[in-house]
Chains A and B, each alone.
Chain A
Amino acid sequence: MIGALIARDVRRGFTGAAWLPIAFFLLVATLVPFAVGPDAGLLARIGAGTLWIAALTAALLPIERLIEPDRADGVLDQLALHGLAEEAIAVAKIAAHWLTFGPLLFIAAFPVAALLHIDQQALGRVLISIAIGTPGLAALAVAVAALTAGLPRAGAIAGLLMLPLAVPLLIFAAAFCGGGGNQPLALESAVSILLLAGAPFVTGAAIRAART
């Protein structure tokens, strides 16, 4: 059932507006040179950080369709009746969310790197940090989506909740991309693992609480 749920959510993601976060990601990265000017050195210096902020917003954009439609439509209840624990549902949702934006972000990083004059070595670091950090971002997005499901103005509240919680990931990823050695990468990995380990329990508890 978990496999079927992941496949369903990935299909829904791609037939829905999966391109939207990536388009947003590309748009943000394209706007930066217009905002700070064409100085290649400056763009290369701020490029990795810019790319990560764009990635953060790309993960945030689809947050309202991660949990709420399935809660309102009774899908979460039916999954529970089919013997799937809420935590297992959360794991499936995290995997599906990551599959719909993580790999696309990875690909989109190449044209963005060219736009921002990020050299090959720095691009390699950016790609590593994206590969390690985006699963944590997906987990955080799903947990926040579950916590805000059914609330009025959930999208805005989700942004207010998620962005501060993503700051540690952003700091360590940006530090690694900026050539800070392997220690920031280890810390980014630790934060990502922590988010991946904790999010299913937070999501599960939020889904159960929403039923009462």
Chain B
Amino acid sequence: MSALLRFDDVTLRRGGRLLFEAVDLSLNAGEAVQVAGPNGSGKSSLIRLAAGLLRAQAGRVQRSALALADDNPALDRELPLGRALGFWGGRVKAAMDALGLGQLAEVPVRLLSSGQLKRASLARVAASNAPLWLLDEPLNALDADGAERLARLVDTHLKSGGAVLAASHQPLGGEWRMLELGR
């Protein structure tokens, strides 16, 4: 079985500072990995490297089609949430319902709270058909209900043959293999 995400001996420096070196990682279908570590250990950078938004100084990264949710919602603030999510395509309605956003479809994005915005960016990922999900601090601003819905979504995604790489300094619900940075 080929991996959906593979790091071979990957080293990353940013701003002249070594964030991590010689990292190996293989993420297969049905697997979930949590990247943990203290602030500034390079968790978010690892996620962006996995997404192809940063380049490694050494090593090789192989990835399949992916979707990314980070702290930037990437949604048109003036549009109703349903239309703003629709720009990125996919099964938007089902994803909004799964994250409890169904009632907010007609509400302009600029009026959403930070927790609702976080759910919206997770909905963008859930709506995509990408097998690999990259989640950067997915629990930030989420309440208990949001965290529970996310755990259910991740579980369903893994069972349907997807994989998830999440960076978080908090424990995520469910079974996660750990990758510790900053040690």
Residues of A within 8 A of B (CB): 4, 8, 12, 15, 72-75, 77-78, 80-82, 211-212
Contact = CB atoms under 8 A, between A and B. Distances in A.
B54 A73 contact: no
21 contacts: A4-B87, A8-B87, A12-B78, A15-B78, A73-B74, A73-B77, A74-B70, A74-B71, A74-B73, A74-B74, A75-B74, A77-B51, A77-B72, A77-B74, A78-B68, A78-B124, A80-B53, A81-B68, A211-B53, A212-B54, A212-B55
A212 B73 CA distance: 20
Interface in B38-82: 48, 51-55, 66-68, 70-78
Interface residues of B, number: 22
B32 to A, nearest CB: 20
A90 to B, nearest CB: 17
Given A73-B73, A211-B53, A81 B67 contact: yes
Contacts of A77: 51, 53, 68, 70, 72, 74
A78 B53 contact: no
A72 B74 CA distance: 9
B72 A72 contact: yes
A80 B77 CA distance: 20
Interface of B: 14, 48, 51-55, 66-68, 70-78, 87-88, 124
A82 B53 CA distance: 12
A73 B78 CA distance: 13
Nearest to A70: B74
Given A4-B87, A12-B78, A15-B78, A80 B52 contact: yes
A211 B49 CA distance: 11
Contacts of A73: 72-75, 77
